[in-house]
Structure 1
Amino acid sequence: MIPALRGGAPCIRTARAALPLFVLAILALTGADALAHGVTAGDKGYIQEISGMNLLPFLYLGAKHMVTGYDHLLFLFGVVFFLYRLEHVAIYVSLFALGHSTTLLFGVLWDTNVSAYLIDAIIGLSVVYKALDNLGAYRRWFGVQPNTKVATLVFGLFHGFGLATKIREFEIAPDGLIPNLLAFNVGVEIGQLLALSAILIVMGFWRRTDGFLRHAYTANVAMMTAGLLLIGYQLTGWAVAA
């Protein structure tokens, strides 16, 4: 459990240290939706003009989509926040990859008609859930600890549906659809590994500092705030579009 939870409110120094995280979260979530899931006009136009098997373009698009998807990255950041051993990181990331790979393929091939706004709101909820989990909130509030592996897999499924709702915006030609989807999925995994590597490097340096445990509380509060903002943003979009 984070020490700040045992000692009450975080100190002013901790709050100041986490202020940049909060500011970044605000800027990210109030910026263009393309940073999270949106399909740029150039990418969409290119995909609509080509047909047949085009593995490298879809590989690139999958990697780009994950690296620029701040909601996915926030969740991954929360998942690895207190994972210190690489084998543990591998287990959780594999469960997340299994979840989003399954629903990405299913969502596109079976043309599931799911609101992108609602799916992205659930993705925001996953960020809030993980932040609260890192804060030890469930033990304090309910006296139980949810199975973190199951939660990672389940939220991975929703993240995959989020990917599926956006890749459908590409309006991919049916010719070569399955190979292109597989290439996109491989690209997503490559992007995830690149982003995860960067996160782990930063976390590794941060964990060596004396202030890591002091600042962990406020970092997770900032992450939870970002998730709540994402939920509100997506639900507002859903209400306006309805």
Structure 2
Amino acid sequence: MRTGAIVATAALTASLLGTEAALAHGVTGGDAAFMSAAAGWNIGPYLYLGAKHMVTGYDHLLFLLGVIFFLYRMKDVALYVTMFSIGHSITLLTGVLSHIWLSPYLVDAIIGFSVVYKAFDNLGGFRTWFGVEPDQRLAVFGFGLVHGFGLATKLQDLQLSADGLVPNMLAFNVGVELGQITALGAILLVMSWWRSWPLFQRTAAAANVLLMAAGFILIEYQLVGYFTETTS
């Protein structure tokens, strides 16, 4: 399937699914209530909440799936995931502790674009359309910065107590990394089984089309939310 047809198929799939996709994950419900009311050091709970956020954070997991899709050596997986983790940690901590805020809708739209970008790269889109191959290490690091900032904007909406904020955020970030390791381990197990399947190469393109469609859905939903909010 030609790259142009693949992109068009992914965009069409996203449009057909519409804007009923779930809102990009944040911290809600009882977790949000706890964090809004908590004061002082709460290392254990914040470790748990950070891990829970990553394990249930489908936008992060979709991007990481795209990143490791064609990585076969563990040292390459470790390198790219470390680049993402460093970027994610920098903006998560800096955003919350320095009170840097942008519209979550716009940040989440860029996060959706990161999923589209990686699927497009996996499909050979940059080589086919532009004749170039971007440095994926820098791209993963850059998108890691965006993913971390997306979470930082949501945490700031909770108006967290300044009492114990630094240790709690450090614990939350450690929890995020532990959750990422757990989720990544499960993804790698599935990918290892899939790669041993004779039809992997024939199904890989279709999987990345679906991955791209998921990214388009995230972008569409967030932009609709942004324009609805700004015009209401």
Match of 1:101 in 2: 89
Q: Please give the per-residue CA displacement for 1:66-89, whole angstroms capped at 9, x wherever unaligned.
A: 111111000000000000010000
| Alignment-mate amino acid for residue 219 of structure 2 | I
Check the 8 A contact 2:109/2:220 in 1, yes or no: yes
Structure 2, unaligned runs of 5 or more:
none
Q: Please give the per-residue CA displacement for 1:129-171, whole angstroms capped at 9, x wherever unaligned.
A: 0000000011010110010101000000000101101122332
Match of 1:181 in 2: 169
Q: Please give the per-residue CA displacement for 1:179-232, whole angstroms capped at 9, x wherever unaligned.
A: 000000001001111110010000000000011000000100000000001000
Map 1:42-191; keep pairs closer than 5 Å: 42-191=30-179
Q: Please give the per-residue CA displacement for 1:30-70, whole angstroms capped at 9, x wherever unaligned.
A: 3542xx42322211211222210100111111111111111
Check the 8 A contact 2:54/2:180 in 1, yes or no: yes
| Alignment-mate amino acid for residue 20 of structure 2 | T
Q: Matches of 1:112 and 1:49 in 2, distance apart?
A: 21
> TM-score, normalised to structure 2's length?
0.91
Check the 8 A contact 1:103/1:158 in 2, yes or no: yes
| Alignment-mate amino acid for residue 30 of structure 1 | E
| Alignment-mate amino acid for residue 219 of structure 1 | A
| Alignment-mate amino acid for residue 112 of structure 1 | I
**Aligned partner of residue 152 in structure 1, secondary structure:** helix
Structure 1, unaligned runs of 5 or more:
16-21
Check the 8 A contact 1:5/1:135 in 2, yes or no: no
Q: Matches of 2:208 and 2:55 in 1, distance apart?
A: 21
Runs of 4 or more, structure 1, over 3 Å off, are 29-32
**Aligned partner of residue 30 in structure 1, secondary structure:** coil
The number of aligned residues is: 223
Q: Please give the per-residue CA displacement for 1:77-131, whole angstroms capped at 9, x wherever unaligned.
A: 0000000010000000000000010000111111112010000000000000000
Check the 8 A contact 1:97/1:156 in 2, yes or no: yes
Is 1:38 aligned to residue 26 of structure 2? yes
Q: Matches of 1:186 and 1:9 in 2, distance apart?
A: 41
| Alignment-mate amino acid for residue 133 of structure 1 | D
Percent sequence identity over aligned pairs = 57
Q: Matches of 2:5 and 2:161 in 1, distance apart?
A: 55
Cα distance, 1:199–1:30 mapped onto 2, change above 3 Å: farther
Q: Matches of 1:146 and 1:164 in 2, distance apart?
A: 27
Q: Matches of 2:89 and 2:5 in 1, distance apart?
A: 40
> TM-score, normalised to structure 1's length?
0.87
Q: Matches of 1:39 and 1:186 in 2, distance apart?
A: 16
Q: Matches of 2:62 and 2:226 in 1, distance apart?
A: 22
